[in-house]
Amino acid sequence: MTRAIRINEFGGPEKLELIKVELGDPGPGQARVDHTAIGINFIDTYFRSGLYPITLPSGLGGEAAGTVVAVGEGVEHVVPGDRVTYAAPPPAQSYSESCVMDAKWLLKLPEDIADDTAAAMTLKGLTAWYLLRRSYEVQPGDWVLLYAAAGGVGLIAGQWAKHLGARVIGVVSTEEKRQLALDHGCEHVLLADNDIVGEVRELTNGNGVPVVYDPVGKDTLYTSLDCLRPRGLLISFGNASGAVDCLPLLELAKRGSLYVTRPVLWNYITNREELEQASRELFELVSNGRLRIEIGQRFALADAADAHRALEARRTKGSTILVP
DSSP assignment of 10-33, as one string?
A: -SSGGG-EEEEE------TTEEEE
Identity of the amino acid at 14: E
301 & 237 share domain: no
pLDDT given at position 151: 94
Rounded mean pLDDT of 137-156? 97
Q: Is residue 192 part of a domain?
A: yes
Rounded mean pLDDT of 126-135? 98
Count structural domains, the chain: 2
CB 275 within 8 A of CB 298: no
Q: Is residue 283 part of a domain?
A: no
Domain that holds residue 109: 2-121+294-323
Instruction: Dump pLDDT digits (tens) for 9-50.
Output: 999 999 999 999 999 999 999 999 999 999 999 999 999 999
Q: Does residue 314 surpass a pLDDT of 90?
A: no
* DSSP conformational letter for 135: I
CB 77 within 8 A of CB 107: no
Q: What is the CATH number of the domain that holds 318?
A: 3.90.180.10
Backbone angles phi, psi at 312, to 5 degrees: -70, -25
Q: What is the CATH number of the domain that holds 154?
A: 3.40.50.720
Q: Is residue 195 part of a domain?
A: yes
34 & 87 share domain: yes
Q: Which of 262, 282, 302 is the last residue of a domain?
A: 262
Q: Does residue 234 surpass a pLDDT of 80?
A: yes
pTM of the model: 0.95
State how far the Cα of 214 lies from the Cα of 233, in Å rounded to an integer.
Answer: 11
Q: Does residue 92 surpass a pLDDT of 90?
A: no
Q: Is residue 131 part of a domain?
A: no
Q: Is residue 214 part of a domain?
A: yes
Distance of CA 160 to the CA centre of its chain: 14
State how far the Cα of 143 lies from the Cα of 139, in Å rounded to an integer.
Answer: 9
144 & 182 share domain: yes
Instruction: Dump pLDDT digits (tens) for 255-278.
Output: 999 999 999 999 999 999 999 999
Confidence of residue 85 (pLDDT cuts 50, 70, 90): very high
Q: Is residue 272 part of a domain?
A: no
Q: Of 63, 56, 66, 124, whose CA–CA distance to 93 is shortest? A: 63
